[in-house]
DNA sequence: GCCAACGTTGGC
DNA sequence: GCCAACGTTGGC
């Protein structure tokens, strides 16, 4: 199997919270209108894992989501030029990792939330991904644990 | 192809 | 609710 890649996806909880994803079981990740974020969406493939960040309200990484299907055209987009993927919930973090905590952690100095605050879909290194799970006092359930 | 204006995001 | 950061648009 191909190596799992790690990502960070952001959503305002008032728009689509992680708890909503858990209720729905899966969702189509649409509405991205930034070229770089779109390119990242296109690089996602089924099985990749995403840290789920709540922006504006909450301001914390709250859960892990998994890419279910790779990028297709965004049905909500005005043209063919945009992409979306479908994602499903994996686990909610036992302890949400606040932005303030991320900022205080030297190992996360170049985490995309810190360096690229406004990028809504960003690649995350395996090292950062694991560290955030640790800060969130959370283990991945076995089916999601791939490499 | 540059760059100013504008709109949006998101932390505070 | 303000404002800084920054990406995109559009005029030249």
Span CA (A35) to C1' (B4), Å: 21
A119 touches strand C (CB under 7 A): yes
Question: In three state form, how does the secondary structure of chain A look?
Answer: CCCCCEEEEEECHHHHCHHHHHHHCCEEECCCCCHHHHHHHHHCCCCCEEEEEECCCCCEEEEEEEEEEEEEECCCCCCCCCEEEEEEEEEEEEEEEEHHHHHHCHHHCCCHHHHCCCCCEEEECHHHHHHHHHHCCCCCCHHHCCC
Query: Which positions on strand C lie below 7 Å from a protein C-beta?
Result: 5-8
pLDDT of res. A20: 96
Give all domains of chain A, ordered by start, each with its CATH number.
6-142 (3.10.590.10)
Low-confidence stretches of chain A (pLDDT beneath 70): 1, 143-147
User: Which nucleotide is closest to A117, CA to C1'?
Assistant: B10
pLDDT of res. A78: 76
């Amino acid at each position: 199997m191909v190596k799992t890649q790690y990502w960070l996806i952001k959503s305002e909880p008032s728009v689509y919270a992680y708890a909503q994803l858990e209720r729905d079981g899966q969702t189509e990740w649409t509405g991205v209108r930034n070229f770089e974020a779109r390119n990242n969406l296109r690089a996602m493939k089924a099985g990749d894992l995403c840290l789920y960040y709540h922006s504006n309200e909450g301001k914390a990484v709250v859960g892990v989501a998994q890419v279910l299907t790779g990028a297709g055209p965004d049905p909500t987009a005005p043209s063919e030029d945009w992409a979306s993927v479908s994602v499903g919930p994996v686990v909610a973090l036992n302890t949400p990792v606040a932005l303030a905590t991320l900022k205080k952690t030297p190992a996360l100095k170049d985490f995309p939330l810190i360096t690229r605050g406004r990028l809504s879909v960003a690649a995350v290194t395996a090292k950062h991904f694991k560290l955030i799970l640790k800060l969130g006092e959370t283990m991945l359930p076995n089916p999601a644990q791939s490499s």
